[in-house]
Amino acid sequence: MSKLLLLVLSVVGAHACYWNTGCHYQLFGSKTPYDTVRGDLRDHESLPNCAAVSVWTMNRHGNRNPGTSVTAGMHEMALLKDDIIRSYISGNSKLCAQDIENFKKWTWNTTLELTQSYLTGTGYEELYDIGKRLREKYPHLGQGTAEEFYFRPTNEQRTIVSCDAFVHGFTDGTILNVTVDEPRQRDDVVRPYENCDRYQENVKGGQALAYQLDTYFLSAPYVAIQNAVQQRLGVQKNLTAANIFAIYELCRFYRSWSYNLLSPWCSAFTDEDLLVLEYYDDVRHYHRNGYGSWVNEHLGRLPIKDLYENFAAVVRGNGRKLVSYFTHDTMVEMVLCALGLYREDTPLNSLTMDPDRVWRTSHIGAFSANIIAVLNSCQESDGQNYRVQIFINEKVTPICPPEGCTWKEFKDKFQQYANASLDFCNMDYVHETGNDPSTNSASPVRGFWSW
């Protein structure tokens, strides 16, 4: 065999190893780090002859620890570490030597069982940086009385600390003194789905969602991954479908906490495997939070009503400079549905993965995902006018053009949300009133950026 062929083979073999792959797969569904997919408010040109007078934001909490059940599954698989190493030594593994070396260095974070679902340091930095960029983009908004600023999280540690981080970033280096409203046990603006019987019974606890998740783990692509990982790791334990996904959780959580976004547990998968695994969150969120049910769209109307009312108050001369809510991916995605964004031509299902889908949680439901609306006061040829810009994850959207919606255009699009309520959540609402809200949905906007 020639030296050139040996060199080629060695290069091919090296590139098959996770540790030195040139470009690692970046998208991990709802556990994607914000910096992987975000834009930057500071890069958008300010509107000519305009000044921002009010900003409204809805923010998902930042990077967090896994919840109770996920932590348990991850810990069970973490105990396989020594078996994976022994499998390599005995020649049964298909992993590379350096990947095994990285397994030897890896340790389980024993605090996870004590801080389940808590915001991480990475998550704090994500929200701090968003607040900081907002301050740098609109420095004049940082001047005013405490009453002109409003911040409210849900009653979870991860949103409460996310709110603190955002406020810290927005006020750091200034004399602005603001207070954060106490989280509410019942909050129909940032968590209305908790108080909606129709959602809890028919959507979150419904059979449609359960069917999609069950069939995903039985699908041919997932079963193929299950078999491939079994061979790749070479362990004696028969890995179940749940075991494989727990290893994926180890991969995507631990990589998000690493400064170089790498985890030895990701070596269990190829990029093609990760593409299939990413799809799980898309299907799950589509049916639980998205267009899988009309209920989700109508729940998303409640925060938009708040947005419209806040901007209308500013136009009347008595609104706030900044209103920010801190919530969960469920709420952010419901608002996107209410706005008619990312609607698929064909509903997502667990057995058919469309590579060109626009409902993709890696991009729209990542950690710290957000919706930012900016009300600008403008001096135009016909006098003073107001223009509204809307950003998603600090990127422009099709809801308003880059030059912003005029106030009339904004009212025409958003006044429909002013009557939003939770009346439809009553299981007998349609029967008693004859009003079927499932026939009244926002017009679709399929997508506005390329993946």
**Which residues are identified as catalytic?**
61, 329
Polymer length of the chain: 451
d(CA 191, CA 172): 28
- Strand partners for 215: none
Q: Nearest-CA neighbor of 427 among 271, 146, 205, 235?
A: 205
For residue 380 the two structure tokens come to 């135009």
In 3D space, the residue among 115, 116, 96, 128 whose CA is nearest the CA of residue 232 turns out to be 96
CA distances (Å), origin 6, targets 3, 16, 387: 5, 15, 64
Q: How far apart are CA 153 and CA 209, in angstroms?
A: 27
Per DSSP, 117 falls in state T
Please say whether the beta carbons of 60 and 368 come within 8 A: yes
Question: Do the beta carbons of residue 306 and residue 39 sit within 8 Å?
Answer: no
What DSSP assignment string belongs to 338-379?
HTTBT--SS--BTTB--TT-S--HHHHSSTT-EEEEEEEEEE
Query: Alpha-carbon distance 37 to 29, whole Å?
Result: 11
